[in-house]
Structure 1
Amino acid sequence: MWTRNTNNSKQQGSGDSTQQKTTNSLSVPTALNWHCEAVCNYDCTFCYAPFEDQRKRSRLTSEEGCNVIENLGRAGIEKINFVGGEPMLHPHIQDWIRHSKKVGMTTSIVSNGTRMNGQFLSDMVGHLDWLGLSIDASSDELHAMMGRGLKGEIRQGYSDHLNRTKSIVQKARQLGFGIKLNTVVTSVNVDDDMSDLVRWINPNRWKIFQVLPIEGENDHMPREFLIDSSQFSEYVERHKMALSDVPEVEVVGENNDQMLGTYAMMDAQTLVYTNMNGHYEYSTQPVLDIGFSKAWEQVNHGFSNSQFQQRGGQWDWNRKTPISLPMVQGGDE
């Protein structure tokens, strides 16, 4: 099994002002979002990653995924972020998190909290560096209006998302994971005050996204869900001011312009893609067949490293692996 020499990796990167790795004369990003699972059990109205066609295809085996991960490491990927769909629905997600850590990557997941119980979190100590949770509002009434809840819940007009995720935060903190919070701002929650909830969660990093329309992916989203850049900026600045006395929480806002062309992504079939022009552009062959470097060469014109840097894409994600602490007994509130 290939493993990264982290000391050499840092030395090679220190002289590269673009913060990209160079493999066989091709610059590749240091961070990758792997949409490893196409299926999702939530019903978010604004979702930009429904992957309906991919849901009909067979999932990768554990071995195939591990081979891809090793290839990503050889290509220069330093941080892998497991996303979806809902990544926790994939049967091999734990294998892949462990293997990514083995080859020397910083590991991260962004989830709605499905199956993220105490056993999973305990098993991931020392393997998963960053646990990201998607929470869009300070109340589940707003979550229900946005579709942020289990499909059965949303059909019945309610959501219990906030209660579930608050329980996960408590357990994750006890185990020492780095915590990320992701929030999508739409017209439904643009006037919401998240400051008390964010104080309670106390994430290391709070990513706030302006709801993003992607051609061919979330065309079903009602146009009235959209907000303009000034509304988004007001939301971000209002919360930065409210949380100014909590410096350990890094608040990062990303408007639509900052999100386009600044993410390197790979789908569940290991096709690499970007979104520079407001729609997804995919490699013609998967990483599983041709390797990341060749697949990236087909789409890298849709990625701007300078804009990746400007939006704060390169942050201090290197952290010591979590230290296992005794579980504290108590309620989920």
Structure 2
Amino acid sequence: MRLSAAIASQMRLLMQLLADALRVAFASFFSKVGYGRTGAGAGTALSVTPVERKVDEGRAQNEMTTPTSVNYHFTRQCNYKCGFCFHTAKTSFVLPLDEAKRGLKLLKESGMEKINFSGGEPFLHDKGDFLGKLVQYCKQDLRLPSVSIVSNGSMIKEKWFQKYGDDLDILAISCDSFDEATNQLIGRAQGRKSHIDNLHKICSWCQQYRVAFKINSVINTFNVDEDMAENILQLNPVRWKVFQCLLIDGENAGEKALREAERFVISEQMFQEFLERHIGVPCLVPESNEKVRDEIMRFLDCREGRKDPSKSILDVGVKEAICFSGFDEKMFLKRGGKYVWSKADMKMEW
């Protein structure tokens, strides 16, 4: 009996080791095949910054991931032509509203607390109403603590704030320069419209309709020597997220790419010098390429310089899909991924 028990114990251990080896092998394989800022096929993607938790089950310790904060790139279409864009318009597909809601509900049930809608340009589809309905659903039906949007700002109208503003916590507008000529060189422009004037207009609407205002900037060869401190301090966003220009194979680099972003790339040293020049801006949140880690509701992994997608959460559920997202909890926290993201908790002076 003792011998049989010992053999059984050894067999269980062997099977556990084999399962672990297979899990690592499959994770390694999938990390080399879809991305995390969005994936293959159609146009809607999920980049995720989950929180990893360890749960004891008897003597075994299994790792589980919770998609606490999710970026949903539901469209690839955009009216700007930014030369460094890493999520290009390879398709015009947008997931139907009901299916999008179903995926968001699955994410909420798996622990999502913050959703960020992006693109492409998210206000382009259905003149912003599709986006507004998703915002309302996430806040009113799913009761998420934080709902945010990243936009270039060119398509936003005041009536959108009047209809959907109550349910939006944060609106981030992308602005890479406070010089109109530089924005034109980058491609962040539409005709002769002033991107900077529009930025100020949206900032005032955010104040009026009680939406926290945020600015995102991609630092590249055309703006790396610019001093933006005075303008940022004047606009006073709750966060100024500063990214180092990133190359993603098949998106803005490589033979199949729709952009050629190599000429926009700066070194880590140049990026650090830009950050040092703006050290006096309290809302600055930097994100270099060393810290960066989505198509039909897929999690994406960009660790290998590509956008490698998991299976869709609509097909396999959140837990299975997120296993291949390449999440690094320590890096997520290090780059300021967890912060006060509900406007109810921000203590804003409207």
1:230 aligns with 2:265: no
Out of 187, 196, 205, the residue aligned to residue 162 of structure 1 is 196
Deviates more, 1:204-213 or 1:189-198: 189-198
Deviations 1:244-293 (A, max 9, x none): xxxxx42111111111x2xxxx33x212212112111101x322222222
Rg bigger for which structure? 2
TM-score normalised by structure 2 residue count? 0.76
The answer to whether the 8 A contact 2:219-2:243 is kept is: yes
CA distance 1:72–1:46, shift in 2 (3 Å): same
Q: Secondary structure at the match of 2:87?
A: coil
Q: Secondary structure at the match of 2:65?
A: strand
Mark the runs of 5 or more structure 1 residues left unpaired by the alignment.
Answer: 1-17, 244-248, 327-333
Match of 1:270 in 2: 297
Match of 2:182 in 1: 142
1:206 aligns with 2:213: no
Shift of 1:225: 1.6
Q: Distance in 2 between matches of 1:174 and 1:38?
A: 30
Q: Distance in 1 between matches of 2:98 and 2:345?
A: 24
1:312 aligns with 2:336: yes
Match of 2:23 in 1: none
Q: Distance in 2 between matches of 1:289 and 1:76?
A: 18
Q: Secondary structure at the match of 1:69?
A: helix
The answer to whether the 8 A contact 2:67-2:107 is kept is: no
Match of 1:290 in 2: 316
The aligned amino acid for 2:335 is R
Q: Secondary structure at the match of 1:240?
A: coil
The answer to whether the 8 A contact 1:30-1:79 is kept is: yes
The aligned amino acid for 1:252 is V
The aligned amino acid for 1:65 is A
Match of 1:76 in 2: 111
1:32 aligns with 2:63: no
Q: Distance in 1 between matches of 2:177 and 2:225?
A: 10
1:218 aligns with 2:252: yes
The answer to whether the 8 A contact 1:176-1:322 is kept is: no
The aligned amino acid for 1:289 is D
CA distance 1:272–1:119, shift in 2 (3 Å): same
The answer to whether the 8 A contact 1:142-1:189 is kept is: yes
The answer to whether the 8 A contact 1:272-1:296 is kept is: yes
Shift of 1:33: 0.6
Matches within 5 A, 1:252-263: 252-259=285-292, 261=293
Report the number of matched residues.
285
Deviations 1:87-130 (A, max 9, x none): 11233111111111121221000001133111111222321100
The answer to whether the 8 A contact 1:44-1:148 is kept is: yes
Matches within 5 A, 1:71-110: 71-91=106-126, 92-102=130-140, 103-105=142-144, 106-110=146-150
CA distance 1:141–1:251, shift in 2 (3 Å): same
Match of 2:39 in 1: none
Matches within 5 A, 1:121-200: 121-150=161-190, 153=191, 160-200=194-234
Match of 2:47 in 1: none
Q: Secondary structure at the match of 1:148?
A: coil
TM-score normalised by structure 1 residue count? 0.79
Q: Distance in 2 between matches of 1:321 and 1:115?
A: 28
The aligned amino acid for 1:281 is D
The answer to whether the 8 A contact 1:107-1:128 is kept is: yes
Structure with higher RCO (Cα < 8 A, 6+ apart): 2
Shift of 1:198: 0.7
Shift of 1:26: 2.6
The aligned amino acid for 1:96 is L
Match of 1:240 in 2: 279
Out of 267, 284, 287, the residue aligned to residue 251 of structure 1 is 284
The answer to whether the 8 A contact 1:191-1:235 is kept is: yes
The answer to whether the 8 A contact 1:128-1:321 is kept is: no
